[in-house]
Amino acid sequence: MRPWLSTARGALPFVVLVAAWAAVSGAGVMPAMFLPGPGDVARTGWEMAKDGSLWVNIGASLGRVLLGVVISVPMAVAAGIVVGLNRRLASVLEPVASFFNALSGIAWLPLAITWFGLGWASVTFILWNTIFFLVFFNTLVGVRTVPRIFEQAVRTLGGARRHVILQVLLPGAMPSIVTGLRMSIGFGWRALIAAEMIATTTGLGFLIFNAQNFHQTDAILAGIITIGILWLLTDRLVLQPLERWTIERWGLVSSS
């Protein structure tokens, strides 16, 4: 009974929202083309699902995110640990990483297009650099804030460098790394949608931008709703639990 009730309570605001939407669009305040009602949008969404175009575009967008994560996270964590081991290098590269962080995302698109042309390579590059710099920065900060006493303890017990890395630094930095991952996928998802509007012919961003060309507002709204739902699902079902588990498992009580 309980989970059913809380789901219902969570869904109520959206039910009200959709009802309000139906009321506004049905009232005829604006021409139907400008604000199609929930029924039209649902119907269009259903048709896009049936003819496959919705799934192809969802797959393209999610695939790019996955590719970006798989390529950039190992590189970023490895680089962050290597740099974090050297105090001098770390304190100098921290502001540099911060700068590239500030720059990340869509601002790289014209350069990416110059190098890779239009298409999935440019878009994935954007995703790569958004995720890489933030995770690198967070790994760096995470490694630096692991209290030295843990490192010294392992060394005292006769541990080699790799033991220090694998058993102290990496777990100690994990909460920071996973937070960085979550934030960077948030930024990355947004940059992805924007990049798909400009530089490719597949993906959810392209779907809604293309629909705009033909003034197909129902398709646009269906796409927007899909984007929102996908992000919420990813965040709630994957990223937040991961973050929570990491902090429970490895979060240090005394970390700043």
Partner 1 sequence: MSRRETAVTWVVLLAAFLAAWSLASATLPVPPYFLPPPTAVAAAFVDLVAKGILPVYVMESLGRILLAAAVALVIAVPLGLLLGMSRGVADFMYPILNFFQSVSGIAWLPLMLVWFGFGEKTILIAVNYTVIFPVLFNALLGVRSVPRIYVNALRTLGGSRWRIVRDVMIPGALPNIATGMRLGLAYGWRALIAAEMLVGANGLGFMIFSAQSFHLTARIMLGMAVIGALWLLLDYFVLRPVEAATIARWGLVQR
CB–CB of 72/177 below 8 Å? no
Task: Count other Cβ atoms within 10 Å, centred on residue 67.
Answer: 15
> In the numeric block, which tokens belong to residue 251?
């979060």
Counting contacts by CB under 8 A, is residue 116 touching partner 1? Answer: no
Binding residue (CB under 8 A) for partner 1 from 110, 149, 152, 249: 110
CA distance 102 to 77: 19
Q: Is 35 helix (H, G, I), strand (E, B) or coil?
A: coil
CB–CB of 28/167 below 8 Å? no
Counting contacts by CB under 8 A, is residue 231 touching partner 1? Answer: yes
Counting contacts by CB under 8 A, is residue 12 touching partner 1? Answer: yes
Counting contacts by CB under 8 A, is residue 17 touching partner 1? Answer: yes
CA 256 to chain centre: 25
Instruction: Spell out, one character per residue from 188 to 227, where the chain touches partner 1: x when CB under 8 A holds, - when not.
Output: --xx-xx--xx------x--xx-xx--x-x--xx-xx--x
Q: State which residue, 108 or 128, has the beta carbon closest to partner 1.
A: 108
Count of chain residues binding partner 1 (CB under 8 A):
53
Helix axes 53-85, 204-213, angle to 10 degrees: 130
- Beta carbon of residue 160, minimum distance to partner 1 (angstroms, whole number): 26
39-78 binders of partner 1 (CB under 8 A)? none
Inter-CA distances, 109 with 155, 182, 198, 227, Å: 46, 22, 9, 21
- Half-sphere exposure of 236 toward its Cβ, with a 13 Å CA cutoff? 6
Counting contacts by CB under 8 A, is residue 238 touching partner 1? Answer: no
> In the numeric block, which tokens belong to residue 175?
């909460």
Binding residue (CB under 8 A) for partner 1 from 64, 77, 108, 151: 108
Q: Where on the chain is the footprint of partner 1 (CB under 8 A)?
A: 9-10, 12-14, 16-17, 33-34, 87-89, 91-93, 98-100, 102-103, 105-111, 113-115, 187, 190-191, 193-194, 197-198, 205, 208-209, 211-212, 215, 217, 220-221, 223-224, 227-228, 231-232, 235
